[in-house]
Amino acid sequence: MKDLEHILARMIIVGLFKDSLTASKIASLCAIYGARNSEYVALLLKQVEGPTSFMWNTVIRGYEQSSNPWEAIHLYHQMLQNMVLPDKFTFPFVLKACTRVHALLEGEQIHCQILKSPHQMDMFVQNSIILMYVKCGKIEAARTSFDLTAHKNSICWNTMIDGYIKHGNIKAACQLFDEMPQRDLFTWNAIIDGHTKCGHIEVARKLFNEMPIRDIVSWNCMIYGYAKRGNMKAARELFDKTPLRDVVTWTIIVNGYAKYGKIEIAHILFEKMPFKSLISWNSMLDGYAKFGNIQAALTLFELTPHRNLTSWNIMLDAYAKCKKIKIARQLFDKMPERDIFSWNIMIDAYASGGSINIAQELFDAMPQRDVVSWNALIAGYKQNGQSKEAIELFHHMQMVGEKPDCSTLAIVLSAIADLGLFAQGRWIHTYVDKNKFSLDGIVGVAIIDMYCKCGNVDIALGIFDCITHRNIDHWNSMISGLAIHGCGNDAIRLFEEMRRSAERPDDISFIGVLSACSHSGLVHEGCLYFELMSLQYGITPKIQHYGCMVDLLSRAGHLEEARELVKYMPMRPNNVVWRALLGASRNHGNIEIAEHAAKHLIELEPDDTSSYVLLSNIYSAKGRWKCVTEIRKMMTDRGIVKAPGCSSIELNGIVHEFIVGDISHSQIMEIHILLHEMSEALVWAGYAPDTKHSMFDTDD
């Protein structure tokens, strides 16, 4: 820059700036390549005797094309200060600069100046105004300017149509397309591209067939539209018919096959490509990675001639998804550069893999975070059973000014539901209402689930009734909520209401209604729904459905039927199935089935104390103390220690936790006195405790 200043100073001394044409060319070159400060160039223009708008326009255009378009806007203001009137060329140049940097306020000010000038009806000036508003997101202001334009050329029409498409208003774009007096190739391509991106592939194809002339962009739009929808047969037919292919055409078809699992075909076409772009290399990488062929992805990654950040992130994400965290970390440490997506991949990998402390360390080391970073860590704490820490992190997120999104709120509401923190859940609900989050999606589902798990099923039902656009998850959450509260008939009524609506039940819906039948003892209804699931809806029962049926039959005392169902299940029974059978056997005093279930349960979970305790309680209820002793000895030999019972309750926004044998609570004396008084009152009322299922201490 200093060398440039010396040269310019010398040119001023020798008088080269006396010639206006030479001065304007030099000033323009300074704007594009050298001077970062428009005031410096304005000072040079003052050396010219009577600088014209042409000279200022030349320099403004130079700055508009440079890496710093803001200086074009600043120079325009200096032009006005120097009493030089802008002409019909000045306005398009400076408005284009406003467009590049999304300077809406400055663009609006210039628009006002145009309205006071004799150039307000100039076609090119009007086109620049419309483009500025479109690019700055003011589509209605653009439409107003468009409507006020007396003589519209094709650029004017195309800018407005393309603007509507970019803003997702395909209906308005189509209306203008129909009204346009004469369409050109750009118009046809824009409207076809708009329809394909909105998923209107049939409409796009109809327009494509009607086109008077097509270019390679037209063919690429249609091939992309079919590939995006997963219709690779139609995409391939057009690919084979296209008269001319470029690297975009090849990349679209390769990416389509790779994205939808046809990786072998994608690779064959990839090898045939006359020229491979980095996007095509990354498409193949992503295809192999997403479908689990990490070795092929790695081979391709090593062959890629020029890798970018996307290439590295694809491999990083592939290893993370395959739970190869160690290799992913090695790759992460080797990366020449990282973006926020790279960090988020690793945080999510460690958090979901149980290494929440390492995830927290990475989170703390991030140069910058986004809402995805916070969500990954909050979800990690929740998934690892640390719901309290997840909620604390959410509050910290708000303290630092990061705005939660729908995913954040859904995760936090789930953590609150796990702990039964009604007051905090109600606060989140208020936050959702205040910030106008829609309840039509995951937030509404999470709020219903939270209220149900906090014991307020009536509030949940009220919210459910107020949601206009319910999806299957809303129905399932409400049915399950009613089920866990023993409202079996209400759950069934809601399930039947869903069947009458446009919503089709899924496998989760049937888990909910079968659970409702189980909790309410509705054996006949449960059996009917179990058959209905496969006969009418074609849903193959999963282990969860069999678990519900075993629980339903067992609770109702049909233990033999439950055992037969377990015996002939098409899959291996899991711990939930055996525990349901064992628990019911205990309640009904059937030692034979209890022993059978306990044996399988202990094989599946040899370190879980509940199986031993349940079986021991059954033996003690039948007075088989020798068996009780054997169970206790087995636990001792295996080093299994029963975890102390724990319960918690929220009172006035404070969570009180109680653990068996712990006397550390600040109000423990008052609690014991009250319990003693309640016990005495129960005895006086004639209550006699049932101790037949107690696990007696055999040493007494």
Burial class from Cβ neighbours inside 10 Å (0-12, 13-18, 19+) for residue 319 reads buried
Q: Say if residues 278 and 247 touch (Cβ distance below 8 Å).
A: no
**Residue 493 domain flag:** no
Domain membership flag for residue 220: no
Residues in the chain, how many?
700
- pLDDT at 329 (0 to 100): 94
Answer whether residue 695 is part of any domain: yes
Would 645 be classed as within a structural domain?
yes
Domain-embedded: residue 628: yes
The pLDDT of residue 277 is 87
Q: Would the pTM count as exceeding 0.85?
A: no
For 650, phi then psi, to 5°, come to -100, 130
- Token pair 């295996």 in the structure block, residue: 638
Residues facing 659 on adjacent strands? 646
**304 with 281: CB under 8 angstroms?**
yes
Kindly state whether residue 177 falls inside one of the protein's structural domains.
no
Tokens 């349960």 belong to: 601
Domain with 675 in it: what CATH number?
Answer: 1.25.40
**Per-residue model confidence (pLDDT) at position 662:** 61
What integer pLDDT is reported at residue 697 of this predicted model?
45
Closest CA to 267 of 248, 239, 288: 288
Tokens of 455: 């014991």
Q: Is residue 242 classed as helix, strand or coil in its secondary structure?
A: coil
The pLDDT score that the predictor gives to residue 157 is 92
The per-residue pLDDT for 62 is 78
Q: Does some domain include residue 592? A: yes
315 with 335: CB under 8 angstroms? no
pLDDT score recorded for residue 649: 63
Provide the Cα torsion 13, 18, 24, 27; round to 10°: 10
Q: How many structural domains are present in the chain? A: 1
Please give the average pLDDT of every successive group of 10 residues along the chain, which has 700 residues. Answer: 54 55 59 50 57 75 80 84 84 91 91 88 89 91 89 90 90 91 91 90 92 92 92 93 91 91 90 89 90 87 90 92 91 93 95 92 93 95 92 93 93 92 92 92 94 92 91 94 90 92 90 90 91 90 90 88 88 84 78 79 73 72 73 70 59 62 69 78 72 46
Specify the pairing of strand 646-651 against strand 654-659: antiparallel
Residue whose structure tokens are 């899991």: 574
Residue 398 resides in a domain: no
Domain that holds residue 646: 565-700
